[in-house]
Every structure is written in structure tokens, then in C-alpha cells.
Chain A
Amino acid sequence: MNPANFYALVGIGLFCIGLFGMIINSHLLRKILAFNIMGSGVFLILVALGRRADNMPADPVPHAMVITGIVVAVSATALALTLMIKVTTITGQATLPDEDDK
């Protein structure tokens, strides 16, 4: 296995861990962290797959995409954290109320 594929597999692993964490955790901070782990997984896959063969230079386009992706993830995290703080201040707990909103 070449290193690129190894990194890509690690990326898939991170994505799955993040997905799992986002679904099973109820604490909002944990959900936001899990989202960031998922994001790192995607970025790792993107960069790793940029090198298509061992003897070729890496493709620079994925690097540009990763930078865009990181900017988006940072802004999303900032908004999520702000919302979390607001929710915690108002409801007194950092979890979402139950799904049934009747």
C-alpha cells in the first residue's frame, strides 16, 4: 500500500468516527467536535488523493480546495459554538430538547 492510500484510509476512518460521534453524543460541544473530526477526515482524504502516483508531483488543486474547506469549517464551527452558548444560557443545558416538539 502506498502512503497516499494509507492516509486516505485514515481519513475515511476519521470521517466514520466523527459521524458516529455526531449521532450518538447528545452534548452539543461533543457534536461540534465530532463535526470537526469528520471535516478533518474529508480534508485528509482530499490531500492524500492529490498524489495519484508515487513518481508524479502532487496535484495542487485539492490543496486549494482544502484551504477553502477549512475556512468554511472554521466559520461553521464559530456559528455552532455561538449558538451552543446561547442555547445553554437560555435552557440551562448544552443538549437539545427531545425530538418530539408537540
Chain B
Amino acid sequence: MAIENALMTFPMAFPLVSLFAVTLILLPLVGVICCFLMPRISRTLGLFTSFANVISVAGLGWQILEHDSYRHAVGGWGAPLGIELYADGLSLLMLATTAIVGLAISVYSTAYFKPAAGVRFWPIWLCLLTALNTLFLSEDIFNLYVTLELLSLSAVALTALTGSKEALSGAMRYLLASLLASLSYLLGVVLLYHSFGSVDISILTQQMQAPSATLATATPAVWAALGLMGAGLMLKTAIFPLHFWLPPAHGSAPAPVSALLSALVIKASFYILLRLWFTLFEPLVDSQAINSLLGLLGCTAILWGSVQAIRQTRLKLLIAYSTVAQIGYLFLIFPLAPNMGSLAWNGVAYLIISHALAKSAMFLCAGNLLRFGGHDRIADLDRVVQRLPLTAAAFALAGVSIMGIPPSGGFIGKWLLLEASMNQGRWDLVAVIVIGGLLAAVYIFKVIGYTFIPAKVTHEAHAVSARMQWSALLLAIGAVLLGFLSLPVLSLLNISDATITSGVGL
């Protein structure tokens, strides 16, 4: 098979760790091509690739645990001229989350898509996977631009998959917003390259943090780069008030696609923002003003997103607005990290993973309910607790993690953030985190409540395959189990280069 052939072309003198990292990029890419060439077996290919992807991540993780953070010069050309791959604890966590959520969504999609629609879904999904893996392994701001574009274009194509009026206009709005964001990011890259003559994050960081450079770094060009890249990435992450494109896109896409978008795609741009903010922009943003502003946006997002979620009458839109609110929690790292480095950092990393698991489970549940009743009106859920118990259980378990009730992963993340805010005396943030949790409880119990009540108008029920129910349930169970795994997960996060995380006090 072509995938094995591609792997065999690597000489075995290649160190094992590089093999895994390169496989992570190459494998889904070969999968894309094979899916286009052999549309008949695209479902098998897609499932196989997602499974092999999990194994590659496990291999990379094993190597990183043995040898510490890892750097690879692609094609033997190192920075500054070439492109380097870099993996540390944070990128490993993101890759692992992507692989696990991706596998569950692949299993779900084998049952969700009919063969005709699947032919279009599988290659684009593998393309999205390639972009995500490359993004988490990149250490070069221009390469990150390319992966961001690859990611957005495949995400938009997936959103438009159903071809309905809502999906097409949602996808169009998503595309325009994300193109604007990409160009803004690219202009920032251009200005940084002009100022420092490099696009490699670690080289840029060294130049920015060198004591002799302190006067030279704060030029208008660097500040403009900070603003442009920050704004672009924030638009892609859909932080309030730049979230306008998210609910229509996530609400109208097919269920597995919504799950991918909410769980993984927005986290990717947030990951870049995190990387840039605490490495090369660290000397600039040390002043509290910008960080407080980002924290304020985060708080507003939590409150506004939750209130909007409560007001929704359609399940998928409710979950989409819940995503808007949960993104807000991630932005609390900016006001907290300068003084409470590792606590806030751990909390946000935990929230990223648990939100990815819980939100994908929720969207898959919504897909099941949509398939079951032919609609996603919350008020007409009509006793799904009895008629679709696995899905109802999955939704409730995912809800536990989103609300942040112990012992779920969401609880650990929110608890770490609460602790960081309390230690720092930021009672305003404490209040927002607590109120956000209560509001989340309101919108989740609103849905759960209706699952017990018979609807006034009954609908003909359609069978939902076991695979679709179990993949949602397993993701939700994963989100809850994450609450018991905090030590191993957080110890992974501490694996990093000194230069990369010097800013967060790890």
C-alpha cells in the first residue's frame, strides 16, 4: 500500500523520534491523496489513517518522555534558512488530544456519512488532520501561517459539506473572517522578519530577550506585528467580540465537522497565540495593560457566550455559544500568567484538553439527536432519556465537564485557574469563573430537563447506529476520567526547552 511505501523510503539511520514526527505530517497527507485516488475505499483509508495517527503520536510521546523536547531540521536544513520541527510537552498534549478526538470522530463518521457524502468528507478531514499535526510541530512563524491557511481552508470546505443555505452562508462568513485574520497575521510575520531577519520562534525569542536588544525591540514595527498577529489569531480563535462567525459555522456544519471545529480547529490558533505571547512577545507584553485587556475580553466572552447559550432554542447553536463562552476561560491565562505562571498555564492546558473531549462529545450527541428526531429543537427532545439512553448519558457526562463539576477534567482546569486568581487576589476573575460555571449549569440542565419531558408534537424516530452513540459516550467518559489523570498530564506539560517557556516560569 502507498502509505507503507512512503514510510519505507525513509532510511532507517533516521533517528526514531524524527520518524514519528515526520510520519505525523506525512501519513495523513498520503491519506488525503489516497482518498482522492481511491474514493471507494476512502472510509477505510480514513479510519486507518486516524488509527495510525494515534500510534504515531504515542511513539512520539514515548520518544519525548525518553529524550526530552525534540527538534528536527527538515531535509537537513536547520534554522535560520530551513524549517525546523519542534515538539515539547505542550505540542505533545495538543497532538495527543487531536489524535484521540480525531479517532473518535472518524469512528463516528463511518456511520454518520452515507458513502456519497463520505467521499467528500474523508479527504478534507485528513487534510485538516495534516494541517493540525503540522501546526503543532512547527516552530517557524511563516510555516505556522501556511498551516493556519491550510487549516482554515479545509475547515471551511468541511463546513459547507451539506450544501444547505445555512451551511453555505456560514462557511462563506467563516472563510472571509479567516482570510482577513490570515492576512493580518502574515503582515505581522513580514514586519517581524524585517526587524530580525528570521522567522524561527526560538531565534526571534533570543533576539527579543537579549539584554542588548531591549531598546531595539520596542520599535513601532514590532508593536505593529504584535497587534496584527494578535488580532488575526484572536479572530481565528473567535474570542468575544470577534466571535460573530463561529455560531453560524459551527451550528450549521454536519455534526462530526462541528465537533472537529469546536474541539480542535479553534484551539490551534489559540495554541499559536499562546506560543507567541509567552516567548517572543513576552518582553513587550510584560506590561499589564494588554494582558488585562485580553483578560477582560475573556471575562466578557464567558458571560456573554453563556447568556446567549441559555437563550438558544436550537441544540447545535446552544453548544456553539457554549464554545464561545469556554474560549473565554482560555483567555484568562493572559492576566494570570505573568505572576502565577505554572498554575494558570496548567489550568488552561487542562481546559483545552477537557473542552476538546467534552465539546466534541456534545456535538456528536447533537448529531445523534438530529438523526433520531430529524430536528434539534431543544423543546421537542421528547423523552430521549428513555429512547436514546446512551446519547443522553454522553450529553450529561460531557455537561459535567463543561460545567466544571468534580471529578471531571473541566473541574481540574477551572480549579487551577480559580487558585491562580485567588493567590493573586483577582476576585473579579474568581467571580466570573464561578458565575460562568453556574450559567453553564443553567444551559446544560435546560437541555437535560427537556430530555425527560414528552414533547407536544411527536416526531417519527429514526434508528441511530451504536457506533455513533458509543463514540460520543466514550469521548464524554474521557472528559470525566481526565479528572483523575491530572498528575501524568501536567507532568507532560513540563517537558520543554528552556528558551521556549522561559516566560512562564516553568
Q: In the complex, what distance in Å separates the CA atom of A5 from the CA atom of B197? A: 17
Interface centre among A19, A65, A68 (most CB of B within 10 A): A65
Chain A residue nearest to B143 (CB atoms) is: A68
Please state if B153 and A75 are interface contacts (CB–CB under 8 Å).
yes
| Residues of A with C-beta under 8 A to B175 | 76, 79-80, 83
Q: In the complex, what distance in Å separates the CA atom of A19 from the CA atom of B173? A: 15
Please state if B172 and A83 are interface contacts (CB–CB under 8 Å).
yes
In the complex, whether B180 has a CB less than 8 A from a CB of chain A is yes
Interfacial residues of chain B within 48-102, with CB under 8 A of chain A in the complex = 81
- Given known contacts A72-B146, A80-B176, is B190 in contact with A45 (CB within 8 Å)? yes
Smallest beta-carbon distance A75→chain B, Å: 6
- Given known contacts A45-B190, A49-B190, is B176 in contact with A86 (CB within 8 Å)? no
Please state if B180 and A79 are interface contacts (CB–CB under 8 Å).
no
Q: In the complex, what distance in Å separates the CA atom of A10 from the CA atom of B440? A: 49
| Residues of B with C-beta under 8 A to A72 | 145-146, 149, 182
In the complex, whether B179 has a CB less than 8 A from a CB of chain A is yes
* Chain B positions 185 through 198: 1 when the CB is less than 8 Å from some CB of chain A, otherwise 0: 01100100110010
Option from B157, B176, B186, B194 in Cβ contact (under 8 Å) with A49 = B194
| Residues of B with C-beta under 8 A to A31 | 176
In the complex, whether B247 has a CB less than 8 A from a CB of chain A is yes
Smallest beta-carbon distance B293→chain A, Å: 21
Please state if B168 and A79 are interface contacts (CB–CB under 8 Å).
no
| Residues of B with C-beta under 8 A to A79 | 153, 156-157, 175
Q: In the complex, what distance in Å separates the CA atom of A83 from the CA atom of B160? A: 8
Which residues of B come within 8 Å of A, CB atoms? 81, 142, 145-146, 149, 153, 156-157, 160, 163, 165-166, 168-169, 171-173, 175-176, 179-180, 182-183, 186-187, 190, 193-194, 197, 244, 247-248, 251, 317
| Residues of A with C-beta under 8 A to B182 | 72, 76
A-B CB pair tally, cutoff 8 Å: 83
6 nearest A-B residue pairs (beta carbon): A49-B194, A72-B149, A46-B190, A87-B168, A83-B172, A38-B183
| Residues of A with C-beta under 8 A to B169 | 87, 91, 96-97
Interfacial residues of chain A within 1-38, with CB under 8 A of chain B in the complex = 15, 18-19, 22, 28, 31, 35, 38
Interface centre among B146, B182, B197 (most CB of A within 10 A): B182
14 additional contacts (CB under 8 A) given A83-B160, A87-B168, A91-B168:
A15-B183, A18-B183, A46-B193, A61-B193, A62-B190, A65-B142, A65-B193, A68-B142, A76-B153, A83-B156, A83-B168, A96-B169, A101-B248, A101-B251
- Given known contacts A42-B183, A96-B173, is B168 in contact with A90 (CB within 8 Å)? yes
Please state if A76 and B149 are interface contacts (CB–CB under 8 Å).
yes
Q: In the complex, what distance in Å separates the CA atom of A88 from the CA atom of B160? A: 14
- Given known contacts A96-B173, A101-B248, is B149 in contact with A86 (CB within 8 Å)? no
Q: In the complex, what distance in Å separates the CA atom of A22 from the CA atom of B177? A: 10
Smallest beta-carbon distance A29→chain B, Å: 12
